[in-house]
Amino acid sequence: MLGIQIDGRAPVRASEVEALRDIDMCVWTVIEVLATAGALIEDRVPTIDAWFVERITGLPDPMVAELRIWFDIMKNGTRTPPRHRPRSQQSITLHLHWALPTLRQWATAGHASLREITKEHVLDALPAAGAERSRAGQGLRSIFRLLKARKVLFLDPTARVKTGVHPTNQPLPLDAERIGQVRDLLFADDPATALVVALIAFHGIRMGQLQRIELTDIVDGRLTVDGRNMPLADPVRERLAAWLDHRAYSPSADEVLTAILLPADTDPADPPDRLVGNERLAIERRRPAHLRTGTGEVVRVSKVDDIIAAESDALEQAELPDPLPARARVGRRNDTRSRMFSVRLRDDELAELGQVAQQRGLPARTLARTWLLDRLHTEQHSGSEDLAARVERLEHAVFPG
């Protein structure tokens, strides 16, 4: 995205980032990174704004201007008295959706502005009864009450108009077939399915809440969701434990490890042994895997981590196939490690050391360490090593290839 900028430093517009969809790249990740870095210009039209413009199309211009005032305050709120908190997008869409049929009916009758609407118009337009009446009344009351408070309208025609309340729905019992389906899912072979169904059945977790639940939300057998802290039922705890075990030691993890360690044309029924030093590691496609030693002993391994640890131990204990030169030193893990030794140099000396190291294709630290060890070796064996041996050893140290 920075490449399309003139100097590569200007902020990037969010509408330009949307072009990444054409090459199947993740747009939201790039937008989040640019926003965090302060290099994003948000110029996209929000979805709720586009939806509002589409819905009010066809209404008279004065009524559209009044509805825009209502929409702006509902969406963004206002700090000017009378103050108004921003409402959720769901509330905005519901209120406008419930009021739009009546608004279009008034526009068709010749009313260009909401200032022309009286209480009689509201009573004539409202349905006789039922949920339609309460919903239409709530949508109209939301619009007229806010516009009256902002002094856009002189009167609120919905004041003291009884529109009723939303009827409460009586939960209906499930039939035997659906109950059987829920029971089967509750005892499903897939631990994830069983856990999700248990959370819904025992605690009434909604789909949106399920998508936001994280493992850190569960502490000491209690689940925290949207401010609610609830103790998990025993069936939910059992399925949670089963899912965690499946997540940690799933067969898919062994299959991924097998695909990495074994060739693509390996026969699953007869996997070959993988030579590691003097030991052989056999990775099978089924769980549990097995570790076969050089003596033929087979050790059962139930975790992928154990397989990797066993392979690492085998590498540590392996013997080198060829003898090493006399000048080579062998080091193993957990042996005595080298220590840091600091040398203070002036800036010009450090620069000269860097130039020499660059000419020889070595890091400056490596070159300085080589010179120091060579001098130390010379002091220790000054009488037992001739010039030719010293030159040969120095060449091997500086140019190991």
- pLDDT (tens digit, 9 = 90+) per residue, 243-264? 888 877 554 444 444 444 444 4
Domain's final residue, options 108, 132, 149: 149
Please report the pLDDT score of residue 381 as a whole number: 65
Residues 56 and 144 in one domain: yes
The more confidently predicted of residues 178 and 383 is 178
Instruction: Give domain status of residue 288, yes or no.
Output: yes
> What are 44's two structure tokens?
């996209």
User: Which range, 249-258, 346-355, 372-381, has the best average confidence (pLDDT)?
Assistant: 346-355
Which pLDDT belongs to residue 72? 93
Query: How many other C-beta atoms lie within 10 A of the C-beta of residue 131?
Result: 13
Q: What is the pLDDT confidence band of residue 147, given thresholds at 50, 70 and 90?
A: very high
> What b/e string do you get for 44-63 counting C-beta neighbours within 10 Å, with b at 16 or more?
eeeeeeeebeebbeebbeeb
pLDDT band at 5, cuts 50/70/90? low
pLDDT at 277 over 50: no
Contact call for residues 139 and 152 (beta carbons, < 8 A): no
Percentage of residues in the chain having pLDDT higher than 90 = 15
Give a yes or no: residue 210 inside a domain: yes
- Are residues 141 and 60 part of one domain? yes
Q: What is the mean pLDDT of residues 150-177?
A: 81
* Inside any domain, residue 171: no
Q: Do residues 86 and 15 both lie within one domain?
A: no
53 and 34 in a common domain: no
Give the highest mean pLDDT range of 106-115, 217-226, 331-340, 363-372: 106-115
As a whole number, the mean pLDDT across the chain is 76
Whole-structure pTM value: 0.46
Q: Are residues 52 and 96 in the same domain?
A: yes
Say whether both 69 and 83 belong to one domain. yes
- In terms of residue numbers, what domain contains 23? 2-41
Q: What's the domain count of the chain?
A: 5
Q: Is residue 161 part of a domain?
A: no
32/52 same-domain check: no
Domain co-membership, 62 together with 36: no
Residue 363 included in any domain = yes
Mean of the pLDDT values across residues 79-83? 87
Shared-domain flag, residues 58 and 124: yes
Strand pairing class (274-276; 40-41): unpaired
The pLDDT value given to residue 98:
92
Amino acid at 42: E
The answer on 284 and 206 residing in a single domain is no
Same domain, 25 and 36: yes
Given a cut of 60, whether residue 358 has pLDDT beyond it is yes
Query: Of 219, 248, 277, which one is at a domain's C-terminal end?
Result: 248
Q: Is the pLDDT of residue 284 over 50?
A: no
**Highest mean pLDDT, choosing among 102-116, 197-211, 327-341, 385-399:** 102-116
Q: Which has more confidence, 23 or 295? A: 23
d(CA 130, CA 166): 8
At residue 106, the pLDDT reads 92
pLDDT, tens digit (0-9, with 9 covering 90-100), for 8-64: 566 777 777 777 777 777 777 887 887 887 777 777 778 889 899 999 999 999 999
Question: Sorting pLDDT into bands at 50, 70 and 90, what band is 395?
Answer: low
Q: Tell me the pLDDT band of 102, cut-offs 50, 70 and 90.
A: very high
How far is Cα 240 from Cα 317, in angstroms, rounded to an integer? Answer: 40
Q: Does 104 map to a domain?
A: yes
In a domain, 234, yes or no: yes
Same domain, 62 and 136: yes
Q: Does residue 164 lie in a domain region?
A: no
Last residue of a domain, which of 275, 298, 317?
317
